Amino acid sequence: MTKIKKINNKTINEAVELLQKGKLIGFPTETVYGLGADATNQKAILKIYKNKQRPKSNPLIVHTETIEQACSIGVFNSKIEKIAKDIWPGPLTVIVKKRENSIIRKELCAGNDTIAIRVSSNKTILAIIKKLGNPIAAPSANKSGMLSPTSAAHVEKQFKNNTDIPLILDGGKTKIGVESTVIGMKKNNIIIYRHGGVTKEKLEKKVNEKIIDVTNADFSEKSNISPGMLKKHYSPTVPLRINITNPRSDEILIGFGEKYKEPNLSKSGDLDEAAANLFYFLEKYEAKGNKIAIVPIPNIGIGVAINDRLNRAVQ
């Protein structure tokens, strides 16, 4: 039976013991909640794919405690290493070549010779990785294609009474609310595969060059190099319309900015606040069975990530 527990030394130790036994755990990060397995355990990794109903061609992100541990499983060039050192720990995932002698199981790479790696700023997951001694494979803790969870209760709702996932650590509502930004390299160019918690503009300032955006490229379920590339993704189970100013009578309108009433992603027009509330609000009104409409969101800064999620939700 799946249990939600508050985070303390006892429950962190319990989480580590479960991972060592090949079980999965739910846990918070600064972006969304993750579904974790020991990244060196093949059977545990396959449980992630099974329970998420995730295509095995869709790679998983591996969380490490430090950049040094990340470099032990992936090959970093100078550009990627510089960005990682500037942003980590934080909401950035990098796709690099997987080291041939890596302890990481090939199954989480979905047939690619690359690996997606992140160092989270969440103290809980960092403590778990340190005590486990191995990196953790950890996609978002939701069924494939559905809304990403920003609370422990949302994780439990999707995986209730699941014997593979006996524990969800409750760290409250996540701070950023959308997944990590994913970048990689093509020739000598930096590529952005998924918009997320770090904006493209911030990354470009870090490297002082333009980053190539391939987030809308035509990737199929058979050719994914990065998580979050599927056209249909992050979807509620109720009808959703976006860029709406005049809702229908049977729709809940989610606003943004001072001209709109509650529910409102951010009355002050703060895009960071809107991102933190996005999946939280969608899940709340999905649970009530409401049809949902959302007003236009500025496509700047982290608003690009918000619009990316909304566009994939309505495909």
Q: Are residues 170 and 257 in the same domain?
A: no
Which residues are registered as beta bridge partners of 38? 136
| 117-159 tens-digit pLDDT | 999 999 999 999 999 999 999 999 999 989 999 999 999 999 9
Please state whether 310 falls in left (phi above 0), alpha (psi between -120 and 50) or beta.
alpha
- The answer on pLDDT for 222 being more than 60 is no
**Which domain covers residue 288, as residue numbers?**
240-313
Q: Are residues 248 and 170 in the same domain?
A: no
Q: Are residues 117 and 18 in the same domain?
A: yes
Q: What percent of the chain has pLDDT over 70?
A: 97
- Residue 195 is assigned to a structural domain of this protein: no
- Residue 251 is assigned to a structural domain of this protein: yes
Pairing of the two strands 61-63 and 3-6: unpaired
Q: What is the domain-level CATH number for residue 51?
A: 3.90.870.10
Residue 223: predicted pLDDT: 55
Which single residue is written with the structure tokens 């701070």? 175
Q: Are residues 73 and 172 in the same domain?
A: yes
| 191-205 tens-digit pLDDT | 999 999 999 999 999
Question: In the listed set 179, 194, 215, which residue is the last one of a domain according to the structure?
Answer: 179
- Residue 202 is assigned to a structural domain of this protein: no
The better pLDDT of the pair 206, 179 is held by 179
Four-CA torsion 103, 126, 46, 106, nearest 10 degrees: -30
- Residue 256 is assigned to a structural domain of this protein: yes
- Residue 200 is assigned to a structural domain of this protein: no
| 102-111 tens-digit pLDDT | 999 999 998 8
C-alpha to C-alpha distance for 118 and 109, rounded to whole angstroms: 14
Residue 233: predicted pLDDT: 80
Name the amino acid, one letter, at 173: K
Q: Are residues 38 and 114 in the same domain?
A: yes
- The answer on pLDDT for 218 being more than 70 is no
DSSP string, 166-211: -EEEE--S-SS-SPPEEEEEETTEEEEEE--SS-HHHHHHHHTSPP
Q: Are residues 163 and 285 in the same domain?
A: no
- The answer on pLDDT for 220 being more than 60 is no
- Residue 208 is assigned to a structural domain of this protein: no
Q: Are residues 161 and 22 in the same domain?
A: yes
Q: Are residues 25 and 163 in the same domain?
A: yes
Q: How far is CA 68 from each of CA 18, 71, 84, 114, 135, rounded to the nearest angstrom?
A: 25, 5, 11, 17, 12
Q: Are residues 161 and 276 in the same domain?
A: no
| 7-64 tens-digit pLDDT | 999 999 999 999 999 999 999 999 999 999 999 999 999 999 999 999 888 999 999 9
- The answer on pLDDT for 224 being more than 90 is no
- Residue 287 is assigned to a structural domain of this protein: yes
C-alpha gyration radius of the chain: 19
- The answer on pLDDT for 229 being more than 80 is no
Pairing of the two strands 61-63 and 114-118: parallel
What pTM value is reported for the model? 0.94
The better pLDDT of the pair 143, 218 is held by 143
The better pLDDT of the pair 221, 237 is held by 237
For the chain, what is the domain count? 2
- Residue 295 is assigned to a structural domain of this protein: yes
- The answer on pLDDT for 221 being more than 70 is no
Question: In the listed set 130, 163, 179, which residue is the last one of a domain according to the structure?
Answer: 179
Q: Are residues 148 and 256 in the same domain?
A: no
| 250-283 tens-digit pLDDT | 999 999 999 999 999 999 999 999 999 999 999 9
Residue 230: predicted pLDDT: 67
Q: Are residues 172 and 245 in the same domain?
A: no
Question: In the listed set 127, 162, 179, which residue is the last one of a domain according to the structure?
Answer: 179
Q: Are residues 169 and 37 in the same domain?
A: yes
